[in-house]
Structure 1
Amino acid sequence: MPSKSNTEHFIELANKRVPKALKALDLVGNLANKSNYTYTEEQVNQIQKVLKAKVVEICKKFDTQEDSAKQFILK
């Protein structure tokens, strides 16, 4: 049996990992239910900050490597 191509492997893993990540985010979202939990605005801000930062970090990984190379300027 021939081995999977990198594209096939990527698709297989993405189809497993992305739904798991979305489910985990749904579970975090369940914490917003004020009838079940009590929390402060500061706690909410901490959660939102770390989640947003992680999403930005992950999205940057998918950006082209060329962008980071363009940022370098030798003076």
Structure 2
Amino acid sequence: MDKKSQRFRRLGEKRVTNMIKHLRLIGNLANKKNYTFTKDEAQQMFEAIEHELDQTKKKFEHYSSNDFGEFKFK
């Protein structure tokens, strides 16, 4: 495995682990004993999370499609 692959795997594991921890912390906000919130507020949080996840996925799709030098009309 080359250095770039090693760095990708090392950072990827660390960042995904951190993201999972933060998602669990967000999940803790659902505890009605400690917090009050509306369905709309919860929906807004999930829409923001889903938007960022979609944007991140698109970045990977963009780079993976160009790795092979393929031409595609947009």
TM-score by length of 2: 0.78
Q: Which of the residues 51, 54, 66 maps onto 1:56?
A: 54
Tell me, yes or no, if structure 1 residue 70 matches structure 2 residue 72: yes
Percent of aligned pairs with the same residue? 34
Post-superposition shift, 1:58? 1.0
Work out the CA distance in 2 between the residues paired with 1:19 and 1:52: 18
What is the root-mean-square deviation in Å for CA atoms of aligned residues? 1.9
Work out the CA distance in 2 between the residues paired with 1:71 and 1:48: 33
Residue pairs, 1:10-49, within 5 angstroms? 10-49=8-47
Would you identify which runs of 4 or more consecutive aligned residues in structure 1 move more than 2 Å? 64-67, 69-72
Bigger mean CA offset, 34-43 vs 56-65: 56-65
TM-score by length of 1: 0.77
Work out the CA distance in 2 between the residues paired with 1:71 and 1:34: 50
1:9-42 CA-partner distances (Å, limit 9, x unpaired): 1011112111011101110111011121100111
